[in-house]
Chain A
C-alpha cells in the first residue's frame, strides 16, 4: 500500500484548515474501512490523510429539545444498532444497521464515513432520505445543512466540496401515526450489500387510513438513490389498503430507472425485482403506521 502523511487535527476547524492547505492532495479519514480498501487496491493515492476519527466531539446519539435525533458523523454503525433511543423512536435505523456488514465492520465503521464515501451499494442512504434527514456540513465558510435527498450526486460522488466535512446527521421527529420500512434484497442472508434497497416513510391521517404523507426511496439499483414521486402521488390522499398499494406501483415507470450493472445480478433481474420490493416496503410501512396510530 502507498504511504502518506498522517495528520491528526484536534478539531473540525483544524481539519478544515488542513483541507484548505493541501487541497486535492488531502483526504478526510474517519474509521477508514472503505478508504483503506481503495488505498490497498491502488485506486487512490492521497499525499495526506486527515484523520478525524479521534474527534470525540463528533461521536454522539442524542435528541434535541424538539425531539429531533442528532447523530454525530463519527457514530459507529454498532452504536446506532444498539441504541435504545433509536430502537424506540427510529426502529428502521436499528433494523437497517443490524444487517449492515459484519459485527467487525459495524464496531469500527462510522455512519458519516459510510455516507461520504458515496458508494451506492450501502444501506443507510435510503432510510435517511425516507426519514427526511439532513446533513450538517462544516467548511471554510461556516456550516450549512442540506437534505440527504440532494447529498448523493453520482457514483462515489457527494455534494461535499473538497474543503467540507460532514459533522452531523439530523433526523426530524417522526409523528406517532407513521411508519418507516427498509427492505433490502440480497444474494446471501448475511454480510451482503443490497442490490435493491427500498425505504418507505408513510404517515396516515389521524383516526383513519388515509395517506397524509409518503416518501418512497429506491437505492442500490442506480448510481444514486431515487425518490419515486410517481408512486407517492398515487398514494397521497388515498385510503391505504393492498389494492391501493398494488395500483400505485407502476412497473412501466420503474422501467425508466437507469439500472446499473452489478456483478452479483443482471440489470434485468434488478428491473424485475424492484417493483416487488417497493410494494413490500410500502405494505410494511403502512402496517407500522396503522400499528402506531
Chain B
C-alpha cells in the first residue's frame, strides 16, 4: 500500500507518495529527476549511488524510500549553490580527479561525509573513506590528491 512520506532533499521538503518497495536511488532519479546520483551495481558494492542520509554516507540503492520518512537526504545536486561549485567539487576539477565521471558523484559524497566529520584526514583515512567507491578508470590517486588539497585549505 502506497504511503506519503515527508522527506527533506537538499534542504527542500517533499511530500511524496511511495510504494513500499520503492528504493531511494530510484526515487531520486526517476521521480525527482536528480540523476546526479548514479546507479550501477545496485547491491551496495560500487558506491556510485552514495548520498548523505542525515549527514552520513549511505548506498541509496539499499535504502527503502519509506525509511526516509522525516529524514534528510543530500545528493550531489545539493552541494553547489547553483552558481558556484562546492570547494570539494572544485578540487576534483582542478586536480583532474575525473575521468569518465561516473563514479565522481559518489566519490564526492563519500569524501564530503569524511571532511564534515574529520576536516584534516590523513591519506590513509581518505583512502579508507572511499573503500566503498569503485572507480573503474582507476583514477584513485588524483581523487586522494583532490581531497588532500581541500583538507590542506581547511588547516590554513
Contacts and interface: CB of A to CB of B under 8 A. Distances in A.
Chain B associates with chain A: yes
Interface of A: 1-6, 32-33, 36-37, 39-40, 49, 51, 53, 78, 101-105, 107-108, 190-191
A289 B136 CA distance: 43
Nearest to B49: A104
Interface in B39-79: 42-45, 47, 50, 53, 56-59, 62-64, 66-67
Interface stretch (B17-25, B30-38, B84-92, B148-156): B17-25
The secondary structure that dominates the A interface is: mixed
B20 A104 contact: no
Contacts of A53: 67
Contact of B1 (A5, A40, A51, A104): A5
Interface size range of chain B in the complex: 20 to 34
Contacts of A3: 19-21
B20 A5 contact: yes
Contacts of B67: 32, 51, 53
A204 to B, nearest CB: 33
A1 B1 contact: no
Contacts of B66: 6, 51
A39 B21 CA distance: 10
B131 A102 contact: yes
13 contacts: A1-B23, A6-B1, A32-B62, A32-B67, A37-B43, A102-B47, A102-B133, A104-B57, A105-B59, A105-B132, A108-B56, A108-B63, A191-B131
A32 B57 CA distance: 16
Contact of B132 (A1, A40, A51, A102): A102
B131 A32 contact: no
Closest 3 A/B residue pairs (Cβ) = A102-B132, A190-B131, A6-B20
Contact of A103 (B3, B20, B45, B110): B110
Interface string B103-133: 0000000100110000000000000110111
